[in-house]
Every structure is written in C-alpha cells, then in structure tokens.
Structure 1
Amino acid sequence: MRVAIVTESFLPQVNGVANSVRHVAEQLVRQGHQPLVVAPGHGPDHYLGIPVTRVRSVGLPGYRAFPLGLPDAALERALADFGPDVVHLASPIVVGAAGLRAARRLGVPTVAVYQTDIAGFARQYGVRAEVLLDRWVGRLHRKADRTLVPSHSSYRQLAALGVPDLHLWRRGVSLDLFDPSRRDQERHATLSHDGRDVLVGYVGRLAAEKQVRRLAEIAGIPGTRLVVVGEGPERSWLGRHLPGAHFSGQLGGTHLATAFASLDVFVHPGTSETFCQTVQEAQASGVPVVAAAAGGPLDLVEHGRTGLLFDPEDRFSLWRTVTAAVRDADLRSRMAAAAHAKVQDRTWPIVVEDLVERHYRAVLDQRRLAIA
C-alpha cells in the first residue's frame, strides 16, 4: 500500500506529532508498505530511505524554533507524483488542510489523526480564539473520510464539534527502548545525593502548553530533587525558579530511556494533552506517574493502581499528590509494576498493523463502494 503522510511536524523537530509520524513511517516500511512524508520546515529529504517532501514554513510567534507550515503547491504535486492509495493527515491544521484539499481533488481517501488540542495550545500563548480554532478543527475532520482519536476525552471533544466516524486509536510505545532495565543506579545516586532524595522528574518540551511552570509548585517538597529533561522556550524561566533542579537538556535514544528509568516519580502537569506519550514511556520504564486528571492521562492512569491523578483546578493538589508518592515507596513500587504490565501490548508494530488493517483498508473499501 502506498501511504502519503501529511504532517504538521517532522524531524528534526522533537514532539509528539513528529515522533508518531516517524514510528508510523518506520513500521509501514517494515510491514511491506511504501510511505511518503510531506512536512514543513527545513530538514532531511529522506528518513531511513523514506522520501520526505518539504513545504514552506514560518517560525511560530513566541516559539521560533517550531516551524508552522504554509499552503504550498509542492504538496499537491508531490501527492500526484507519488500516487498514494491513502493520505494520512497527522494532526491536520494548515499543511494538513492543504493535504486534505489535494487528496479530495485527486480522489484519494483520507484518514485524519487528531493529536493536538490547538485551541488549548494557542491559549497558553495568549491567543484567545478557542471558538474559531475549534470550528476550523471540526471543519477539517468532518471533511476527512475517517478520524482517529487517541483518548476518550478527544473523542468527546470532536464529537461535540460534529465530527462523524470517530475511532479510538492510541499511540504505541518502544518497549525495546523504554524498560526498567535502563535504570542507572550510579546516575540515580549522583542526582539524589547518594539516595537521600527521591528523584521527581519531568520529561518533555519545556513549552507553555505543557504548563511546566507548575513544576515550581513541587520544587520544595522535602526529601526530593527535581530533574528536568528537555529543551524549549520556558527553559530560562525554569532555570531562574528551580535553582536546585538538575537540567539534563534534550536527550534521545538510550540516553533518554536511561533518564526516564532512573527517576523515582514522573510528573506531567499539563492539562491539554490529547494522549500524553511521555506518561506511557514512563510507565514502560517502570516509573510511577503523577499526571493531571484531564485529557489523555485519564485513559492512561488508573488512579491508585497505575499512577496518581491530581486535580488541576486545586492549586494544592499537585503538591499533595506528589508528596503522597514520595512518602510511600511501596505505593510507588506497586503502581510502577502495574503500569509496566499494562503497556506490554502497546508496541508500535501492533498499533501500526491495526492502523493499516482496520482504518486504511476501511476507507479504501468505502471509496471503492462509492465508485461502484
């Protein structure tokens, strides 16, 4: 099957959309399919032998390192030349909208993957346009042949916007990379002052939409040391307000997996996550999770069993919840074991096979019936 993946973000960007596209493209090749990636911004024109067509972009205001794609005639030419069976729209907003129009003109079925709460994203940067952005997102997904959502929260959100033919499709996790065996006791001892402190960590982009400034609320919990892994526009603010924290910078591969597994508690404070891949990676790493009781984490964390959820509307709930995890080593151990067991059937090969066999083939069959 020839699959054109039109995405709002791809390498060298490191974020949930780019990483998901990378994994999907890799697995498509391994399962005998031919993908093409169409993405904004500068970067490689091939990835592991997979062709990548680049379209125009501008830097996102307030986050110049993030390229925002622009409509580009190169996109439709690339799709026409490639001749896809299916167009996969990864978190469609601007480039995805152009990809949707091109696919419809070419008569190619589309599968749209909802991944970014764009209204919530914009709100964190001071842009108050929730109604307009939700209307735009709803309009795009109503025109796609099928929409895949990562969580029940996202399902309800798009259903309220009148989007039909919604299907739950979660992300995979690289169990060969994220695993408790990656824990580095020497690293842990160094950061925790020879085990005197519990390592409480955040892993991800240091950006406003992740609400990382809330980490300041837990920086003073006795007997803990905060570890921050990642880079982004909020790095300087965090550096000023978390003087005792250890900043690892952006990590990847085995270095990232080791940083995850060497934590004692993983914290994600954001409330706008449609899924929250880092929660799943922490669980695969055998690290207990504390996350906001909002969005994607509600599907990933069973409170008290596979992690803890805090009330984001209660200004003291994050502190209380992290403190409860820090003070109870047995609770941490039980939650880590239960969460690790729960993610064992969420590998990328399984997830992408489901994408192809259950979703790509469904829209192809629908198109054939319509033509007949």
Structure 2
Amino acid sequence: MRIAIVTESFPPDVNGVAHSVVRVAEHLVARGHEPLVIAPQPSSGARSVTGSFPYPIIRVPSVATPGYGSFRLGLPSRRLAAALKAHRTDLVHLASPFVLGARGMTVAASLGLPTVAVYQTDVPAYARLYYRTNLGEQTAWRWLRHIHNAADRTLAPSTASATALHSHGIERVWLWRRGVDAARFDPGHRSSALRRAVAAEGQVIIGYVGRLAVEKRVDLLAPVSRIPGVRVVVVGDGPARANLERAMPDAVFLGERRGDQLARIFASLDLFVHTGPFETFGQTIQEALASGVPVVAPAQGGPLDLVDEGRTGLLVPPGDAPSLVAAVTSLVENTEQRLAMGVAARVAVATRTWSAVGDELIKHYVDVHSGGIAARSVPISA
C-alpha cells in the first residue's frame, strides 16, 4: 500500500509523535509498503540534524509555536494535495492531527481517500493549563471532534485516552498502543562508569527523560532531589530548563540524549520517575521498563496501562509532591523490592515490539481501505 503520513511533528523534533512516525514509516518500508511523510519544515538552525530516511519526506511551511520556539507548527499548504496525487496515495495516516493534520483530513476527503487518525497529544489539557479556563479546553475538543469524526477510524494509545475520546463525542475509536525497542533498551546496557560519573558517592539514581516544559511538571522532582542518598538525573531540554536547574542545584542535567547513549542512561538508573499528568501513553515509561527500571508515575492517562502497581512500579496522585516523595523514598529504602520490580518490568514489555504493533497498524489500514468494519469501534477495555 501507499501510505501518506501527515504529521504535526517529525525529526529533528524530539517527542512521542515524531518518534512514533519514524518507527511506523520504518516498519512500512520493512513490510514492502511505500510511505510518504508530510511534515512541518524545521527551523533553519535544526535542518542540519534532520537526518536521512529511506522514504520521501515533503516539508510544508511552518511557524514557531508561541512560547516554544523549537517546535514548529505546519501551515496548511497546496503542497499536500500535490504530494498525495504524485504519491498515488491509497490511505492517509494523520499523526496527532490538529493544524497540519486538519488540512490533511480536508485534502484526503476531497480526493476520496480513506483516513486513519492517531490521537496522541492531549491538546485540550494543554489548552486548559495555558489559558486557565475551560473555554480553551472546550474549543480544543470541538476542533478534535471535527477532525476525528471525519476520519474512518481513530486510534487511541491507551484505555484512558479512548475513554476520554468517547466521552467527548468522538466515534469509531480503536485501541492501538505503542511499541518499544527492547533490543536497544535492555538492562544489559547498564554502565558502571556512567553511574560513577553522575553519582560519585554511590547514590541511588533517580531519572527523568522528556521535554522540560511547564506542563511536564518536572518541578515535582525538586523535593525528590533533596531525599538523602539520592541523585536526580534529568535528560532532555526545553523552555523550563533554566528554572529547573535553579530549583534543583544538586541534580545532573544532561540535555538531550538519543540512541545508544540514551539506552545506557536508562539502564543505569535505579528508578525512573515520570511527572507529567497529561500523557496519552508515556513512551519513556515503556523504555524505562524495557531497561529493567521500575517506574513511579501519575495515576492518570497512559501510565495507568503501563505501570502495574506494586509489581513494576508505583502510581501516585497526579501533581501530588508529598505522595511522589513518599513513593520514591519507599523504593530507595527497599533495594530488594526495587530490584524485583525491575525484573518484572522487563518481562512486562519484552513482547511489545514495534514490529508487532506495526503489523497491528497495517491491519487497521487494510480494514479501513477495504471498508470492512471501519464503522465499528473496538470496546475501549480491549
């Protein structure tokens, strides 16, 4: 099949949407399909690190996101229709559609092409956070309803996300979870040298990996960084970094890390803490689990599907600093429990390969393209 992926984000962006699109396109090529990616043009300073890919990429004009200049918003463009026609697209995959994806939906409809929309970003929650009013959240949900109900099928990454979509009037919702590279993220990559470099006194290493932005609530790690015998290691970058460095002077900030280097960091942690309350899935949680590292995360959204409470980690009320400190402290003090959780964590995700979930996605494509059972939703508890 010829699949056009219209995405709101793509490398050099570092986020869940960009990562997922890369893995999907890779899998399509591996299975003999012909993907085309349509994505926002990166900033001039980032173009040199975009990389090369074994499939065509069409870039459309973009503008910097207000308050987050490193993230570009793709603008509606005539290039979309021309690209789909030249590609002779069979089906359009809309990755986290909101701006560019909305235009992609319109163009696909005008060309009579079937569509699969992948919900991945909790834009309504971000709107509520930034505008401090329900009006922004309600407006975002109206726009998402408009986009997703025009699609033949919407894929949600977690049961919590599927429930939210249904409750806001979005139809034809199916579950499609994300994969993890269990070969790259493996406990065997644990590095004694790295551990000595970041925790010279043998402290228990608590890690966070992700964007450093207000909505990620990384500030909740400040009291964690003051737990005796703990060293907090923060991997990632973003507009909140300077404030976080001031709030956590004893933490180690490593900036962005990728590939094998990131895998070594994950495997060298003793405990992974995810603080963001707006995760529709939580890919870094899966990568920590695959690395044999237990997780403490908010009992909300995607983490509810990923963290097996008491077995692979602990869930805490979102935004509750005292509960987070208590959970981390309990695992810092109980080495035996922490190690047992790490073993269970690896087992829990070992079969969640990108190959397996990629094949699931292709089945969704086939069902939608054939018009078979596209109008029926899978139960959200599946």
For the aligned pair, the TM-score class normalised by the smaller chain equals over 0.9
Aligned equivalents of 2:104, 2:258: Cα separation in 1 = 30
Deviates more, 1:152-161 or 1:42-51: 42-51
Aligned partner of 2:130 in structure 1 is: 125
SS at match of 2:371: helix
Aligned partner of 2:158 in structure 1 is: 151
Contact 1:7 1:96 in 2 (8 A): yes
The one-letter code matched in structure 1 to 2:177 is R
Aligned equivalents of 2:292, 2:60: Cα separation in 1 = 40
Aligned equivalents of 2:340, 2:145: Cα separation in 1 = 41
Aligned partner of 1:65 in structure 2 is: 70
Deviates more, 1:208-217 or 1:28-37: 208-217
The one-letter code matched in structure 2 to 1:259 is I
Q: Does 1:16 align with 2:23?
A: no
CA-to-partner distance for each residue in 1:198-229, whole Å, 9 max, x for gaps?
00110111112211121113111111011001
Which of 195, 198, 202 in structure 2 is aligned with 1:191?
198
TM, length-normalised to structure 2: 0.93
How far the C-alpha of 1:267 sits from its partner, in A, is: 0.4
Aligned equivalents of 1:193, 1:369: Cα separation in 2 = 56
Contact 2:367 2:374 in 1 (8 A): no
Q: What aligned pairs does 1:1-372 form with structure 2 within 5 A after superposition?
A: 1-42=1-42, 43=47, 47-126=52-131, 128=133, 129-195=136-202, 197-312=203-318, 314-357=320-363, 359-366=364-371
How far the C-alpha of 1:309 sits from its partner, in A, is: 0.5
Aligned equivalents of 2:58, 2:253: Cα separation in 1 = 35
Aligned equivalents of 2:23, 2:113: Cα separation in 1 = 23
How far the C-alpha of 1:303 sits from its partner, in A, is: 0.7
Aligned equivalents of 2:374, 2:243: Cα separation in 1 = 56
CA-to-partner distance for each residue in 1:271-320, whole Å, 9 max, x for gaps?
10000000000000011100000100000001100111111254411111
How far the C-alpha of 1:164 sits from its partner, in A, is: 1.5
Aligned equivalents of 2:276, 2:53: Cα separation in 1 = 33
The one-letter code matched in structure 1 to 2:219 is R
Q: Which runs of 5+ in 2 are unaligned?
A: 376-382
Deviates more, 1:43-52 or 1:117-126: 43-52
Contact 1:46 1:52 in 2 (8 A): no
Contact 1:124 1:208 in 2 (8 A): no
Change (3 A) 1:98 1:282: same
SS at match of 1:36: strand
Aligned partner of 2:380 in structure 1 is: none
Aligned equivalents of 1:251, 1:127: Cα separation in 2 = 33
Contact 1:266 1:289 in 2 (8 A): yes
Deviates more, 1:288-297 or 1:309-318: 309-318
Change (3 A) 1:181 1:369: closer
Contact 2:94 2:115 in 1 (8 A): yes
Contact 2:157 2:175 in 1 (8 A): yes
CA-to-partner distance for each residue in 1:87-141, whole Å, 9 max, x for gaps?
0000000100000011111111000000000012233434640010011112211
Contact 1:266 1:288 in 2 (8 A): yes
Q: Which runs of 5+ in 1 are unaligned?
A: none
- How many residues get paired? 368
CA-to-partner distance for each residue in 1:12-49, whole Å, 9 max, x for gaps?
11100000000000110011000000001224898422
Contact 1:120 1:209 in 2 (8 A): no
How far the C-alpha of 1:367 sits from its partner, in A, is: 7.6
Contact 1:89 1:113 in 2 (8 A): yes
Aligned equivalents of 1:325, 1:41: Cα separation in 2 = 44
TM, length-normalised to structure 1: 0.96
The one-letter code matched in structure 2 to 1:101 is T
Change (3 A) 1:46 1:143: farther
SS at match of 1:271: coil
Deviates more, 1:85-94 or 1:181-190: 181-190
CA-to-partner distance for each residue in 1:222-260, whole Å, 9 max, x for gaps?
110110011111110111111001111100110000011
The one-letter code matched in structure 2 to 1:109 is P
Aligned equivalents of 2:87, 2:32: Cα separation in 1 = 17
Aligned partner of 2:379 in structure 1 is: none
Aligned equivalents of 1:320, 1:369: Cα separation in 2 = 46
Contact 2:172 2:374 in 1 (8 A): no
